[in-house]
């Protein structure tokens, strides 16, 4: 996987790319990351990449020419690339989108700044806009790092434990169950007995129930996307959770129909 980052703050990425799983993926050749300084492609001696908006208003807008020149200077076949603008206006990033992006061979991440980028650049060159949440950052650099981290960990051979990414929160719509490690008792709080039992099936049941309970409590909206197997439904019914889950899903669907 190739990542290209277009930014006016290239040094922003130095430290994050030297840490953790992303660093190991770089060393192993699973990914490559090239950071391109948009200022290098400005048209004036002051290296200006922004200007005041036509029509007035607060803030500045990123100029289209430096963005296009920077984009065109990237080596390789851009027809096989997905050009993504990180912007509050974009579709909110979720695990499904991360999985889709991980199937690409190259992502070009454009880091917006100020009041955004000139709409003509957006219309002609951007394939997709993404936001990492319903809040505003000072720029798209942090969002670009989130995309790189989330996508990289899904690439084959990146995580040390094969298949571990399939058990992540959001991978099937459920938040992850609680995890425990040594010591067995911490501040008078013991590890649940079932996790020490060695009974694999009992542990699987326990973790399913805990995932459902946590999701119901914290993100009930996610339950509408979950497809439970017949065995899982039997377990949830026995625990008195199935009717509650179905009620939450029905309420969510009614609200969606009403709002539509």
pLDDT at 255: 85
190 and 143, same structural domain?
no
Residues 139, 213, single domain; the answer is no
3-state secondary structure of 128: strand
Name the token pair of 21.
């799983």
Q: What is the pLDDT of residues 136-185, one digit of tens each?
A: 999 999 999 999 999 999 999 999 765 556 556 666 889 999 999 999 99
40 and 147, same structural domain?
yes
- CATH code for the domain in which residue 67 is found: 3.40.1280.10
pLDDT band at 80 (very low <50, low <70, confident <90, very high): confident
Query: Residue 164: inside a domain, yes or no?
Result: no
- Furthest-apart CA pair in the chain: how many Å? 72
Same domain, 192 and 143: no
Verify whether residue 141 is a known catalytic residue: no
Q: Which of 115, 128, 221, 239 is catalytic?
A: 115
pLDDT for 173 equals 85
Q: What is the mean pLDDT of residues 57-77?
A: 93
Same structural domain for residues 16 and 87? yes
Q: Which of 27-36, 77-86, 144-153 has the lowest mean pLDDT?
A: 77-86
Domain count for the chain: 2
Confirm whether 119 is a catalytic residue: no
Asked if residue 166 is part of any domain, the answer here is no
Residues 128 and 44 in one domain: yes
Residues 219, 101 share a domain: no
pLDDT tens digits for range 230-260: 999 999 999 999 999 999 999 988 888 877 6
Chain centroid, CA 24 distance in Å? 19
From the candidates 88, 172, 213, 239, which is the catalytic residue? 88
pLDDT band at 115 (very low <50, low <70, confident <90, very high): very high
Per-residue pLDDT reduced to its tens digit, 48-65: 999 999 999 989 999 999
For residue 75, which phi and psi values (nearest 5 degrees)? -70, 155
Whether 234 maps to a domain, the answer reads yes
Same domain, 136 and 198: no
Residue 157 is assigned to a structural domain of this protein: no
Cβ pair 141, 12 in contact under 8 A: yes
* pLDDT exceeds cutoff 60 at 203: yes
Q: State whether 128 and 200 are in the same domain.
A: no
Q: What is the rounded average pLDDT for all residues in the chain?
A: 93
Could you confirm whether 16 is annotated as catalytic? no
- Residues whose CB is less than 8 angstroms from the CB of residue 194 and which lie 6 or more positions away in sequence, other chains included: 202, 203, 206
Q: Looking at the structure, tell me whether residues 120 and 217 fall in a common domain.
A: no
Strands 189-190, 185-186: pairing is antiparallel
Say if 173 falls within a structural domain: no
Please name the helix (run of DSSP H) or strand (run of DSSP E) that holds residue 189, with its range, or none. Answer: strand 189-190
168 labelled catalytic: yes
More reliable by pLDDT, 193 or 172 = 193
Query: Domain limits at 67?
Result: 2-152
Dist. CA 27–CA 25, nearest whole Å: 6
- Domain membership of residue 206 (yes or no) is yes
Quote the pLDDT of residue 165.
Answer: 63
With pLDDT > 90 as the criterion, what percentage of the chain qualifies? 87
- Strand pairing of 50-51 and 189-190? unpaired
pTM: 0.87
The b/e string for 174-200 (b: 16+ C-beta within 10 A; e otherwise) is bbebeeeeeeeeeeeeeeeeebeeeee
User: 192 and 129: one domain?
Assistant: no
DSSP 25-55: HHHTTS-EEEEEEGGGG-SSTT---EEPPTT
Q: What is the CATH number of the domain that holds 198?
A: 1.10.1270
Catalytic residue among 128, 149, 168, 210: 168
pLDDT score at 160: 72
| Sign of the CA dihedral with 165 first, then 170, 171, and 176 last | positive
């Amino acid at each position: 996987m190739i990542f290209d980052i277009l930014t006016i703050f290239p040094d922003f990425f130095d430290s994050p790319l030297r840490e953790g799983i992303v660093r190991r993926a770089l060393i192993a050749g699973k990914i490559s990351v090239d950071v391109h300084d948009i200022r290098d492609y400005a048209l004036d001696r002051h290296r200006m990449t922004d200007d005041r908006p036509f029509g007035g208003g607060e803030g500045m807008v990123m100029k289209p020419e430096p963005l296009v020149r920077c984009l065109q200077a990237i080596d390789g076949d851009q027809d096989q690339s997905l050009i993504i603008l990180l912007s509050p206006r974009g579709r909110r990033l979720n695990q499904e989108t991360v999985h889709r992006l991980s199937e690409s061979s190259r992502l070009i991440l454009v880091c917006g700044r100020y009041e955004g980028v000139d709409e003509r650049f957006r219309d002609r060159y951007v394939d997709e806009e993404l936001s990492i949440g319903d809040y505003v950052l000072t720029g798209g650099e942090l969002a670009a790092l989130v995309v790189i981290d989330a996508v990289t960990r899904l690439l084959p051979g990146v995580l040390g434990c094969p298949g571990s990414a399939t058990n992540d929160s959001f991978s099937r719509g459920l938040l992850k169950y609680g995890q425990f490690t040594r010591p067995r008792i911490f501040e008078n709080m013991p590890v649940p007995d079932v996790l020490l039992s060695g009974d694999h099936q009992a542990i699987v049941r326990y973790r399913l129930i805990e995932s459902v309970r946590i999701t119901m409590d914290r993100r009930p909206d996610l339950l509408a996307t979950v497809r439970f197997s017949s065995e899982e439904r039997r377990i949830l019914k026995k625990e008195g959770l199935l009717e509650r889950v179905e009620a939450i899903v029905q309420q969510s669907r009614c609200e969606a129909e009403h709002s539509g």
